[in-house]
Amino acid sequence: MADEGTHGYSRRLTEYGDREFARFVRQSFASSQGFAPKSLGKPIIGIVNTYSELNNCHRLLPDLVVAVKRGVWAAGGLPLEFPVISLGEIFLHPTSMWLRNLMSMDVEAMLRAQPLDAVVLLGGCDKTLPALLMGAASADLPAIVVAAGPMLPGEFEGERVGACSDCRRFWGAYRRGERERSELLELEAQLAPTAGTCGVMGTASTMACLTEALGMMLPGGAAIPAVYAERLRQGEWSGERAVALAEERLRPSQIMTEQAFDNALRVLLALGGSTNAIIHLTAIAGRLGIRLSLDRLNELSACTPVLVAVKPSGENYMVDFHHAGALDVLLPELRDDLHLAAPTVAGSTLGERLERRRRRAPDAQVIYPRSRPFQEAGALLALRGNLAPEGAILKRSAASPHLLQHSGRAVVFRSLADLAQRVDDPALEVRADDVLVLQNAGPRGGPGMPEAGYLPIPKQLTGVKDMLRLSDARMSGTAFGTVVLHITPEAALGGPLALVRDGDRIELDAANARLSLAVNERELARRREEWRPPSTPPRGYERLYHEQVQGADLGADFAFLRHEALSDGAAAG
């Protein structure tokens, strides 16, 4: 599609076969909004508003939109707000991940179709920032991200609590019989006490930090709590900066380079961030022709310690991270390992940002110095082996040390429904040293790769707090335990995971990054013969998703949405 004009309302004209008529009629309809002719001649800055009453995390986005508009007006632009799909993590079936790619298509299509000179992307809940970045990367229109910001923690029995690391902690205690239902009801009101995204280093906060590390957000924007006035000022500055981006024509593909993704992976590791971020970064990079490899993740992981002690890794909350200086303090600690020439939406390089932003020393309580890290290197580990030929992920920093080298008997659940039905069945034959295996919960099998990898410990194993658990699913960034995720190829594609049976021996060898199934090739070949693929849904988005979704190693993006440079398997990075 041709871009008929270079500026404002003359861009992306409606096709009538008469461009002058299209321009004339557009101006006429635009003036019906009540703007004076002078306003209509300004650069048009789209504001993507992902507010929805089914997305609690985005409750304050309308206020943020007002602030962004102030900034756009002040800088001489015309701000025009429009909606796209919003994904509220807790309000979607089967899982928000199933809809991430759809949201990214919505974003890309609307950025391509409308007369915009630049865009401000407002999001925050887990899948929204990835979808916004994927869409913006594909449309490659000048763009800047403003995050909703994290919630503040609540208080329960004299201690601070927050979504959703504490949801899981208390739920685990309830399942073990250590808590009453009435106590959970009291806790309910305190886990998410304000607007904003989950207040721990879950996927939403991790992705906000990585968006800043990628250079797509103004410095300091990732961790400001949703309810702080500072969040509104960040919005205003971003609106102002968007007008400059429109003039400079600085595009996402010039910012999100291979070096920028390397920086983001470093920051992910230093944060002890969510495993989901690996999938999202891979998908965003894939839109730009950059291939992120698990080998590179392991290389960086081996030499990047965890410096941030925010739940689920530490005891702090995102508000503490913000007050400790957030990325302004963390990035200088990583300075020697970062690509400092990487450009950012601020108009300066990452290196210039580090020079300019006021420096404060790490407090060694929330952000630790590189010389004395919170945890040693290796927070995230990509595994391979005959059970995961294309890879799997273990969040080593959240695992029990005694299970990192472990061999046990498989107890297999064939699907999520099977898991729900049998895990607490007293007749289930299971021991504490067994390995819980969940099949058919990957991108195609789930569908949508739900956050089911954190399998519940069977109730009959009273007092057991962790077991080795394996699946092709994901895990919430707020969860913890010895949980191997993203096993690829997934079971629904006939990967080796589909061939595991009760009683098989499985070995996790974290020291050598291996995940193995001790079953001989002949027996595996026999089981492979018996395997049948799931049926294709008859129509609609279900069918599109089933046919197009790729493995976790490719970001679980749709094949036809990846950059053409990667469509034939060629890797640019």
Report the interface residues with ligand FES, using CB under 6 A. Answer: 57, 89-90, 125-126, 163, 197-198, 202, 204
Q: Cα–Cα distance between 172 and 165 in angstroms, integer? A: 11
Helix 203-214 vs helix 326-334: crossing angle, to nearest 10? 60
Q: Cα–Cα distance between 256 and 112 in angstroms, integer? A: 19
The least CB distance from residue 89 to ligand FES, in Å, is 4
Nearer to ligand FES, 203 or 415 (CB): 203
Q: For residue 456, what is the DSSP state?
A: P
Helix 203-214 vs helix 258-271: crossing angle, to nearest 10? 140
The least CB distance from residue 90 to ligand FES, in Å, is 5
Nearer to ligand FES, 55 or 138 (CB): 55
The least CB distance from residue 126 to ligand FES, in Å, is 5
The least CB distance from residue 205 to ligand FES, in Å, is 8
Q: Cα–Cα distance between 404 and 65 in angstroms, integer? A: 46
Nearer to ligand FES, 89 or 212 (CB): 89
CB 298 within 8 A of CB 513: yes
CB 21 within 8 A of CB 29: no
Q: Cα–Cα distance between 524 and 530 in angstroms, integer? A: 10
The least CB distance from residue 57 to ligand FES, in Å, is 3
The length of the chain is 573
161: helix, strand or coil: strand
Nearer to ligand FES, 120 or 204 (CB): 204
Could you tell me the two tokens for 154? 């609540």
The least CB distance from residue 166 to ligand FES, in Å, is 12
Nearer to ligand FES, 119 or 204 (CB): 204
3-state DSSP of 20-51: HHHHHHHHHHHHCCCCCHHHHCCCEEEEEECC
The least CB distance from residue 51 to ligand FES, in Å, is 13
The least CB distance from residue 312 to ligand FES, in Å, is 13
Estimate to the nearest angstrom the gap between the alpha carbon of 233 and the chain centroid. 25
Residue whose tokens read 């300091």: 220
Nearer to ligand FES, 90 or 461 (CB): 90
Nearer to ligand FES, 77 or 450 (CB): 450
Q: Cα–Cα distance between 283 and 303 in angstroms, integer? A: 24
Nearer to ligand FES, 59 or 176 (CB): 59
Q: Position 248: which residue type?
A: E
- Helix, strand, coil percentages (3-state) for the chain, rounded to 5, are 40, 15, 45
